[in-house]
A = this chain, B = another copy of it.
Amino acid sequence: MYEILTIKSKNEFELIDITDKVREFVKRNVKNGIVIVFTKHTTTALIINENEHGLLQDIKETLFKLIPKRGNYKHDYIDNNAHSHLKSIILNTCLVIPIINNEMVLGTWQRIFLVELDGPRERKIIVKGIEEK
């Protein structure tokens, strides 16, 4: 019981709201239990927060302030995207969300985002349900 979401990002940095895709999976597949959302990449992340235009810009600016694009990184001699990896490690690779009656128990303002940190690229997200006994 799982699904692979294929998400094409369009920008180097992007916050892509995947809530509806996860909700669809849950509706069809899990009555009571949990859903795991897992990104298969080392230069993306997953977060849950509010989808408000200004906030999405604040998230971008905060991440670039905490971890600048250029920083004398050693990995940049290999692949020139050290900052993308470093941002991903202070965010999440996986999320787990409770499900009650085929619905995720998200709060009013909670939305699930794929954080693209080294786009544009095609990304694969695993959505897996665990039904409770």
Contacts and interface: CB of A to CB of B under 8 A. Distances in A.
Copy count, this protein chain: 3
Q: Is the contact region of chain A dominated by helix, strand, or loop, or is it mixed? A: mixed
A50 B42 contact: yes
Given A91-B90, A131-B132, A40 B105 contact: yes
B132 A1 contact: yes
A28 B49 CA distance: 32
Interface in A27-61: 32-34, 36, 38-42, 47-50, 52-55, 57-59
Interface of A: 1-2, 32-34, 36, 38-42, 47-50, 52-55, 57-59, 62, 66-67, 71, 73-79, 82, 85-86, 88-98, 100, 105-107, 109-110, 124, 126, 128-133
